[in-house]
Structure 1
């Protein structure tokens, strides 16, 4: 048996999330509408002799994208030797390409059996992308939501907003309050079947870094000039060891509401310092999933290292793992 760490990216628009979901009584164990389910189907083509279970490092919701997510899986080959990791990457990507699926395996590597993709993650970094209509265009009849130009390349990739009072400095000011150790109960959606969320300590989280940086349109050269003329693009970057269910989208939604003066900075302060589902201000809305990207999952390099006794494969294969891991 060998454990494999896979780094992957995907566009989440057409999926109901990364996590597999099975309808009870359906009689089918496959879930082709989730990233995990599609990975399982593709991995079976390697014909491992064991019943395997994919372990996720980070659960992204329906519509959320990933530039870099990770999973680990234990596979046992018929001959007892490890699969060639480059062949695993090639085989999975060939399967996804043939089906027209927006999923790509970035890399596959052998890791010790003691490694766990979720438990050993040091941090996770998300980016939320905003396209803010320039103030001089707000109120123009041509920028009515049904008339407004949106570059097709950005459709379901960026959250476009138009509000004459939007101020990025105000947004950054309220966002920075969220750095550090806080109880984020106000910013957690209730997940069915998760009993841990009722534990008072469960909603305590440390946010290491928040920044809001000017970005650029992902539009092609034919649309970029008009995109830049119409919008200012911003990347909201948030880094922490872990997040609560929908925490990032609820925080961003509250910050946008403050930036547009739909809620006050005092409202934000109370939502953060009086942690309760009842503290959520109804004038704020949860930011849509399609603007959110999981960008990085970090590990301590020592957690990925084998001792000499743990190295799988033949002597020659062991030397390859040591020099390329």
Structure 2
């Protein structure tokens, strides 16, 4: 039995999320509405001797995308030899493409059997994309003008949040990012999931450290004339968040808070209160949860030493014939 780390990317628009949700009564079924379920379906093409069971490093919700995420899987071939990592990547991508699934395996790496893609992760970086109309209109004006139609490039549908607001203050948003840096109890910024665990009510569970928040200009993902038109209408922005781990919907709540500040819906005092009086009751309901479409998991970070095989394992693999199945 050998363990493999799969580096994957995907567009999450039409998925229920990354984690499979088939219950135990239907274990023989494959959950093709989740990223994990589709990966496990593709792994059947490897014809392993053991039951296919993947382990996720990070969870993303419905509509959230990933430029880089990871999972690990244990595989045993019928001849007991290891799979060649490049062949695993090729076979899985062939199956995903055949089924028209917006998922790609970036690379495969054999790792020590003691490696765990979640517990060995040193950090995660998320990015949120949004665009603000340069000559935006307020929501009130938009509602009055029933003929108003904002241009959104077809390539950007469900990939970026587009805002129409004439009073958007990007510098106020930039300054407010500093309030979230460092160690805080982010209980006010956590949503309760369906799989809510009693341990999540413990005060220590909601304490997190955000290492970096970067706001930088972005650009359109459109092409040709669409890109030119989009960038003449909108200013694109990207916010990156880096931390060891995040709470459920924490990033989307923080982004929603920053956008509420930039549009004048709330004041800095409200953010201060949510951070210093951590409670689900402290959440300011004037803030709108940012939609998942603009959120991307950019990177799961590992220490290279944790990924290295032991010399005995490497020697064993070198003496084995190349695996092609």
Structure 1 length-normalised TM: 0.93
Question: Which residue is 2:220 aligned to?
Answer: 217
CA gap 1:277/1:54 in 2 versus in 1, 3 angstroms:
same
CA deviation after TM superposition for structure 1 residue 314, in Å: 4.0
Residue 201 of structure 2 corresponds to residue 198 of structure 1: yes
CA gap 1:141/1:55 in 2 versus in 1, 3 angstroms:
closer
Distance, in Å, in 2 between the alignment partners of 1:301 and 1:27 is 35
Question: Which residue is 1:48 aligned to?
Answer: 48
RMSD, aligned CA: 2.0
Question: Which residue is 1:251 aligned to?
Answer: 254
Secondary structure at the aligned position of 1:153 is classed as helix
Secondary structure at the aligned position of 2:114 is classed as coil
Partner of residue 305 from structure 1, selected from 295, 308, 323:
308
Q: Which moved more, 1:143-152 or 1:212-221?
A: 143-152
Partner of residue 274 from structure 2, selected from 271, 276, 297:
271
2:252–2:292 contact (8 Å) kept in structure 1 = yes
Q: Which moved more, 1:273-282 or 1:307-316?
A: 307-316
2:136–2:165 contact (8 Å) kept in structure 1 = no
1:142–1:148 contact (8 Å) kept in structure 2 = no
2:137–2:165 contact (8 Å) kept in structure 1 = no
**Stretches of structure 2 lacking an aligned partner (at least 5 in a row):** none
CA gap 1:279/1:141 in 2 versus in 1, 3 angstroms:
closer
**Structure 1, residues 254-293: CA drift from partner, whole Å, max 9, x if none?**
1100111101111011111111000100100110001000
1:15–1:33 contact (8 Å) kept in structure 2 = yes
Partner of residue 235 from structure 2, selected from 204, 219, 232:
232
Partner of residue 188 from structure 1, selected from 187, 190, 193:
190
Distance, in Å, in 2 between the alignment partners of 1:56 and 1:141 is 43
Distance, in Å, in 2 between the alignment partners of 1:52 and 1:170 is 49
1:57–1:121 contact (8 Å) kept in structure 2 = yes
Distance, in Å, in 2 between the alignment partners of 1:263 and 1:221 is 38
Aligned length: 319
**Stretches of structure 1 lacking an aligned partner (at least 5 in a row):** 321-325
Residues 1-325 of structure 1 aligned to structure 2 (within 5 Å)? 1-23=1-23, 25=25, 28-135=28-135, 147-193=149-195, 194-311=197-314, 313-316=316-319
**Structure 1, residues 45-94: CA drift from partner, whole Å, max 9, x if none?**
21111123211111011000000001100011100001111111011100
Secondary structure at the aligned position of 2:238 is classed as strand
Distance, in Å, in 1 between the alignment partners of 2:149 and 2:65 is 27
1:253–1:286 contact (8 Å) kept in structure 2 = yes
CA deviation after TM superposition for structure 1 residue 191, in Å: 1.7
**Structure 1, residues 203-250: CA drift from partner, whole Å, max 9, x if none?**
000100001100111111111121111100000000000000010001
2:142–2:148 contact (8 Å) kept in structure 1 = no
Distance, in Å, in 1 between the alignment partners of 2:108 and 2:207 is 33
1:130–1:160 contact (8 Å) kept in structure 2 = yes
1:82–1:312 contact (8 Å) kept in structure 2 = no
1:82–1:313 contact (8 Å) kept in structure 2 = no
Distance, in Å, in 2 between the alignment partners of 1:315 and 1:41 is 29
